[in-house]
Amino acid sequence: MINESTFLTGGDSGAIALWSTGKKKPLFVHFLAHGADGDHDDPRLPLLPTSSDSTSTPVLPGARPVTPFKPELMAEYATAGTHYFPHINNPRWITALAVLPFSDLFVTGSWDGHLRLWQLDARLRSFSLLTTIPMVGFVNALQFAELPTDALEEQVEAIADGSLDKDNKDGPLPLTPSLLKIVAGVGQEPKLGRWLRIKEARNSIQVIPLPTNLEFTANRKLAEEHSSIFGKK
C-alpha cells in the first residue's frame, strides 16, 4: 500500500501495476520490469526496455541487445502469464516488492542481479526507475526499515532528559536515505519451489543502505501512524 487508496502489485508476468481502489483497471503498468531470461543468457543481467511502450533496445547499464518488442505483443504477453512465446524470452517474475508508506519510493526484486528502486510521480499516476542496487540471487522478501543512527539516538536521549519536547514544533527527524535501509531476504532458489537455481547466490538476509544521493518525498507523520516500519502498528 502506498496510501489508503493506492497500491502496487507485481506478478509472474514480470509486470508491476499501479492501482487505485476507485478503478477497476490499473492506472499504470510497467511490463517486464526485471527483464527476461533467454536460453543462453546470464539470468543476473537486465535484458529488456524499461517502459511499457518502448520498441527500442535496452538502455540499462550492462544490458544485452535483444530483438525490439512490439507493443501489441507486450500486452498479449503480460496477460498470458508465464506461457512461452517464440518471439520473446520468458519474464523474470516480481518475487518481492516493498513500499515506503506515504512516500513516492518503492523497491522490487527478482533474480536479474539487481534490486530496482522506483519513484512515483507527484500525481500517483505512473512511476519510473530511479536506480539499481547489485544483488545476486532470488530476492524472496523485501522491507524498508529505519535502523538506529547516532542522530536518532541523540534525539531520543534529548527527549528522555527533558532538553527536547517530544511534541516540539520541528517534529521527528525527516526521512532521508541515511536513516533508511532495505532489508532483503535472498536465496539460491525461489521461496515457493526449486524450479530455478543460482549457485553463486548465498541464502542470507542482507541490509542495504540507500544511495546517499537518492531524492524522494515522504510524509513521516502519516507513515508513523499507519506503518510498523517505525515501531507502530
Per-residue pLDDT of the chain (233 residues; tens, 9 = 90+): 899 999 999 999 999 999 999 999 999 999 999 998 863 344 333 444 434 444 433 333 333 344 444 555 555 555 555 444 444 578 999 999 999 988 999 999 999 999 999 999 999 999 999 999 999 999 999 999 877 665 555 655 665 666 555 554 455 555 666 678 999 999 999 999 998 999 999 999 999 988 777 878 876 666 655 555 544 44
Which pLDDT belongs to residue 213?
A: 79
Task: Give the distance between the most distant pair of CA atoms in the chain.
Answer: 68
Where exactly are the structural domains of the chain? Answer: 6-227
Phi, psi torsion values for 30, nearest 5 degrees: -110, 105
Residue type, 43: P
The three cell numbers of residue 104 are: 513516492
Half-sphere exposure of 19 (CA within 13 A, CB side): 12
User: How many Cβ atoms from other residues are within 10 Å of residue 26's Cβ?
Assistant: 15
Which pLDDT belongs to residue 212?
A: 76
Total-model pTM: 0.68
